[in-house]
Amino acid sequence: MTPQTLAVAGVNTLPAATIKHAQDDNTLYPIGAIEGTVATIAFEGMEETTITLHWAIKGQAEPTFSPIEKEGSASGTVDIDVPWQWVGACIGHSVLIWYTATVGGQLKESVVLELTIEPLRNEDLKSSLPKFVHAEVIDFTVQLDMHRFTGDETVTMKAWPFIQAGQRLFVGVGGQDSEPPMPVIWLAYDHVVTVAEAKIDHVFEFKLPRGWLTRRLDRSRLSAESAVIFSGCVPVPPVPIPDPVSAVPLPENAHLFRPATSAMLRVEAQLSEFDDFETYPRKEFGGPGTVIDTNLLMFETVAGSDSYIGLHQVRGAGEHQEGMVEGRALTVHCGGGGSQLASMHFKYGCTRVRFGFSGTGAAAASFSFFDAHGTLLETQEITPPAWVESRIPEGDTIARIDIRTSSHGSIDSLTTWRIREPSPV
């Protein structure tokens, strides 16, 4: 049912409902109704009728709210509880509230109350703003210094007031380059909140790729911005403007969380990149001639050797090592047998390489580092589990690492470093 009367009471209309916590009967700040609100209805002759309360977002077909029924009272007044979920879904919107009842044998409809549910204020969203996990205050300035952490950056965001399943979340990070436009990376774009996430103590975690950070200007500003569509409706793209205040183009119909979270980025002199091998197709028991192509390297069996490699979920006693080797990983010595040889061919000359190595056996594995001319730079004997980190002479670069082992092993959490190319003048 839709309201037939918008403002003027007539012979067949009933008085408008009043809403608890509403200011001047037309505005509701949602935090006051964080546990729900109450619609109070009063008219004569209600004791023998059923009152049906209706609630709808003005000018919007979705979402819909099932009418609530309550029996009338001889007192002439009834209170109908309105759930907090309804209030939360309508944040930033005008809501039409009306009711129907049969009085004197005639179905009547109330005057429609138009109630504005205000956006949440900045002070009520402060704890739900995105945070750069490794950002620190250095020399009175919030800085994200890439020299102080390895791997990707993590951006966290605590659940916001009125979070519920079906809402849509947007989290983006804007950076700075030598020339516009400002680069943007989406950490969450139109992410639909799940039942498991819809808890007030839930913390969202997103990975901000190190490779993206290294391509930004040193001492430039990073800005993490976020927004939520509380109603769960499809996002409306923003209207392009010539000189945007925000680098992150958040949807027109999303509730923007302000202020944005900013940090000064300190970029390494060397370009570092990270790979945890989670995004590649599974490969098992790759025999002689097998090549596994990843972002940073080609993983191969050595020509003429009876060796087997793979890229799959870590398994077996001793192989899963929290924070070092977990999830998918490159694998050596697949399928058993004697000593086997595999090679990591890097796509760029690396000044430094670091990765985790774990294995099913206690025997040491041999890692030999070579330059682009095939010159041996160093050899390390590694007993798993352990981090493998190059120790080559300054000025040399690594083009290949040969791995020889007599038991199954896994390689994960790879970070490579190479000389950053000069920025164009």
Q: Name the pLDDT band for 424 (thresholds 50, 70, 90).
A: very low
Mean pLDDT computed over 44-49: 92
**Interatomic CA distance for residues 331 and 288, integer angstroms:** 14
> What's the confidence (pLDDT) of residue 188?
96
pLDDT at 173 over 90: yes
Q: Where are the domains of the chain?
A: 13-117, 122-268, 272-419
pLDDT at 263 over 70: yes
Domain 13-117 = CATH 3.40.30.10: no
**Interatomic CA distance for residues 349 and 325, integer angstroms:** 24
Q: Name the pLDDT band for 285 (thresholds 50, 70, 90).
A: confident
Percent of the chain predicted with pLDDT > 70: 92
State the pairing for strand pair 141-145/291-293: unpaired
Do 13-117 and 122-268 show the same overall fold? yes
**Interatomic CA distance for residues 71 and 301, integer angstroms:** 77
Residue 91 backbone phi and psi in degrees, to 5: -60, 130
pLDDT at 12 over 70: no
> What's the confidence (pLDDT) of residue 139?
87
Give the residue among 135, 144, 171, 134 at the shortest CA–CA distance from 260.
Answer: 171
Question: Which CATH number applies to 272-419: 2.50.20, 1.10.10, 2.60.120, 3.90.75?
Answer: 2.60.120
Question: Which CATH number applies to 122-268: 2.60.120, 1.10.3470, 3.30.1380, 2.60.40?
Answer: 2.60.40
Q: For the full predicted model, state whether its pTM sits above 0.75.
A: no
